Structure 1
């Protein structure tokens, strides 16, 4: 697999530096910059991130002006992401703008770090993934719940065999900001731009955890609902919301495990995020909304499995809890530290989420959309792409 561009020593710095570019600089872009700096300060990476280029829609917008304080230069031309010498390109733009950024980045030699979901449609996500694989490019996707400490522990418990065979699971990711009908229309609420609502925006995280913890999905049955049917745009004109606010998805895995996923953007005041697994000799609960260990309940007394040491596990890349108690910042920091480690040619025994993994999660999303539209279960055919 081809690695990224130049990693070099900057004058006055004792650590090697890495040249990075970013596509977009909205909320999540700011989180990525914070995470990269925290990863460096916390010792999760030996590389000092140097933000050379930010491609934005408007250099004079508030986001563009803020970006100018953190990046050496700004541009409105996506083609510049193929600039020679960049080691990594971080894509944090809206879903429907990811593909041109990936195409541009592939013209250079940079590794690609992309926010989820890959694209607004399964066809475009599939084409992007094939292009990245064909180029042999180092790639990673921000399915960051994989790097939650309780997920790492849960994976170790399941692999140890102490809990026995998994029977069933339940995943919940409930947000609340879209219950307010006065929240204005945005691209996130338009199917042609976002692809889906809670099902895609939140669902890819939990569908990915299903795959990494338990196995491949073979059957999907879903219900979708839109509760706030119209919203006003910037001009005050009412527009139809064409995406789901809530989704309930029942899954069957190829190994016979059954489970359900609930996703919402309207659970105001009742926000929650967790993943539970029932096995033949006990149960697991993963508190995705807190930086706490996995809860394990055994039918009979048992010893906790040995977790991977810091050369293979995630503790070497994760910031100390006293540096951040925010779940998502911690997970993003760990993920980006690992991406920078991989840019140096490093490897990791822990499963790192790639474009192929993100595509697999988005295939479940597409099956759920079909199920809801047709009112019946959908069987999935697997033809996995490997990175």
Structure 2
């Protein structure tokens, strides 16, 4: 009998919880998934780490990721962006497969080093763009590949949140350029850039050039007493989990915000198609509004994460958009869940992602999105920053 894959995870907060939940669901809903053991959970705060390990079902803990790499067969790097590169590269050099949260790294140089380490390793290395694994997105990709939309002409993507609207919302590592690399651009824009590439990349080619703009609305934020920097126990991933309410804690200081609060970009594809992307943490009333539209010569489609079981589709000859409820057993991944019409949620995307990644590990196959694909997204993020600095259109290199 094949021994279970021993999984190590760095990070136990937002993304740690999401991925641990996915691992727990796998044997119940995906009986053909590889058997795994939730082996080692990594973080810095021993007390919080021990409590999280008990809740998440991990048998061991470690306060140094190096100790975990020596003990596990698979490594999930869910730490803050500035601890993506070193542990991931070390794991790959040790022959341990890695799934790393997005964006791949704070800088393009670090992302390149991760890409190169993955290319040199004979094991899967994946970037955790979980929205690729929404059934409705897979359905949409099938429509595009089948030519239902005709020639792709325009792509529109947005990711709107409002968790930083209050200027007294507390400082967190996502607001520090050294730790995060960028703000809304990397946290939210990375998802949009990847999703657009996943859906239409084969149809329109890569992004040739773009014009980008970054904006910071609040230059400093309060740091509640005892909430300095967030280290390896913190998690990557979009969302307002970086800090809590400061009302009941003394504010010791204010710290500078050194990243963007919002970004926008206009892109020109190699095919002549155009795209517009935007993301913000200041869109009052929007909690997690990730949406994408694709317009072609014969039809269009629209998707919103806030209605993730639905896809709006317009085909040639239709008088208006039709809403497709993507819950049939024939739809991607849905046969593993509930009867038609019984919707699934955000957390299920991580189950699908882990299923694909761990299957690739067990079978010695490839996983997509790879580190190379994560690097390609990082190139676009870097170009948006360069465009903003120069005030002009730039090429994506």
Q: Cα RMSD over matched residues?
A: 2.7
Cross-structure match for 2:391: 375
The SS at the match of 1:344 is helix
Cross-structure match for 1:229: 219
CA offset digits 1:94-153 (Å, max 9, x no partner): 110112211331243321111111111111111111011111221111101111112111
Deviation at 1:347, TM superposition (A): 5.3
Cross-structure match for 2:8: 21
The TM-score, its normalising length taken from structure 2, stands at 0.84
- Mark the CA change 1:82 to 1:275 in structure 2 (over 3 Å): closer, same or farther: same
Query: Is the CA contact (8 Å cut-off) linking 1:39 and 1:317 kept in structure 2?
Result: no
Cross-structure match for 1:330: 348
Query: Is the CA contact (8 Å cut-off) linking 1:82 and 1:109 kept in structure 2?
Result: no
Distance, in Å, in 2 between the alignment partners of 1:346 and 1:318 is: 23
Cross-structure match for 1:280: 297
Deviation at 1:194, TM superposition (A): 0.5
Distance, in Å, in 2 between the alignment partners of 1:140 and 1:103 is: 12
The counterpart of 1:8, out of the listed 2, 13, 17, is: 2
Deviation at 1:30, TM superposition (A): 0.9
Cross-structure match for 1:340: 358
Cross-structure match for 1:384: none
- Mark the CA change 1:347 to 1:124 in structure 2 (over 3 Å): closer, same or farther: closer
Give runs of aligned pairs for residues 53-72 of structure 1, distance below 5 A.
53-60=40-47, 62-69=48-55, 70-72=57-59
Give runs of aligned pairs for residues 70-219 of structure 1, distance below 5 A.
70-84=57-71, 86-215=72-201, 216-219=206-209
Deviation at 1:316, TM superposition (A): 6.7
Deviation at 1:261, TM superposition (A): 0.6
Cross-structure match for 1:315: 333
For the pair 1:257 / 2:273, whether they are aligned, the reply is yes
Distance, in Å, in 1 between the alignment partners of 2:316 and 2:334 is: 33
Aligned residues: 359
Deviation at 1:310, TM superposition (A): 9.1
Deviation at 1:337, TM superposition (A): 1.0
- Mark the CA change 1:64 to 1:100 in structure 2 (over 3 Å): closer, same or farther: farther
Distance, in Å, in 1 between the alignment partners of 2:283 and 2:34 is: 40
CA offset digits 1:191-234 (Å, max 9, x no partner): 11100000011111111112122221111111111112210113
Distance, in Å, in 1 between the alignment partners of 2:307 and 2:130 is: 14
- Mark the CA change 1:46 to 1:380 in structure 2 (over 3 Å): closer, same or farther: closer
Distance, in Å, in 2 between the alignment partners of 1:226 and 1:338 is: 37
CA offset digits 1:215-268 (Å, max 9, x no partner): 211111111111122101134311221111111111111111101011011113
Q: Which structure 2 segments of 5+ residues have no match?
A: 226-251, 320-325
Query: Is the CA contact (8 Å cut-off) linking 1:21 and 1:89 kept in structure 2?
Result: yes
The TM-score, its normalising length taken from structure 1, stands at 0.86
- Mark the CA change 1:289 to 1:347 in structure 2 (over 3 Å): closer, same or farther: farther
Q: Which structure 1 segments of 5+ residues have no match?
A: 1-6, 10-16, 382-387
